[in-house]
Amino acid sequence: MSADGAASVQVNEAGPLRRDAERNRERIVAAARQAYAEAGLEVSMAEVARRAGVGIATLFRRFPAREDLIDAVFADRMDAYVEAADRGLADPDPWNGFAGFVEAICGMQAADRGVADLLTMTFPAAEALQVKHARALERSIQLIDRAKAAGHLRADFTHQDLAILLMANAGVVGATGQAAPDAWRRLVAYMLQAFAASGSAAQNAELPPAPTPAALYQATLQLGSTSRRG
């Protein structure tokens, strides 16, 4: 076979191989996104491989470390995190901008257990995510400073308090699950009242409805069942 013929064979073989590799990558990312959304970031790489229908060796060829997979799965979610902060800064009302940002990111946690975990953890090896996380943090500090300067946010509030809220909300989201899926809204509303400066109208804002006793009871049953399985 001529050199030109050998090169042609290599090119023709490389095309399907590249397509297969890309399909595997897409299946892995899709499976990981669904698994993380349902159960959080504690899902194992082996479980992701099983859901994707690929071998564990194939998964590690595409994503040598867990952080590489997390980087790929949550890139768009972290973009949404930054965009929520940008929307808050664009709001002419400093309190509405701050409160809207808080509600948006807590809503992201409620919609996706993986995001609930992601916003309360640090992954130094996931470099792209860390860059976006730092960008969102910078903007959230600007939102805090702006709301304080306007006299709407209590003077002793810090960005660490926002991190505490995200941790608490992640816990509520994980505990209430499908039984009381809107419970987080009441928690966030209460916290925003607590964050508001003394005498602010935000302290008297109407709260979302509380979960029904039956819904909370069902949530506690599910939480107890999960603990026993653990």
Answer yes or no: are the C-beta atoms of 94 and 53 closer than 8 Å: no
pTM: 0.84
Q: What is the mean pLDDT of each run of 10 residues along the chain (230 residues)?
A: 47 61 92 93 94 95 92 91 96 97 96 90 82 92 97 96 95 88 95 95 90 89 64
Query: DSSP secondary-structure letter at 64?
Result: S
Report pLDDT for 111.
Answer: 92
Q: How many Cβ atoms sit within 10 Å of the Cβ of residue 73?
A: 25
Compute the distance between CA of residue 103 and CA of residue 107 in angstroms, rounded to an integer.
6
Backbone angles phi, psi at 167, to 5 degrees: -65, -45
For residue 80, the model assigns a pLDDT of: 94
The domains found in the chain, sorted by start residue, are 1-64 (1.10.10.60), 66-229 (1.10.357)
Q: Buried b / exposed e across 204-217, counting CB within 10 Å, b at 16+? A: eeeeeeebeeebbe
Q: Which two tokens stand for residue 60?
A: 């590690």
- What's at 215, amino acid-wise? A
| CB-CB neighbours of 116 under 10 Å | 27
Confidence at residue 135, expressed as pLDDT on a 0 to 100 scale:
92
Cα 206-207-212 angle, rounded to 5 deg: 140
pLDDT score for 9: 45
Start-end of H helices in the chain? 3-39, 45-52, 56-62, 66-90, 94-111, 113-118, 127-149, 159-176, 183-195, 213-229
Residue 13 neighbours by CB distance under 10 Å: 10
* pLDDT of amino acid 126: 80
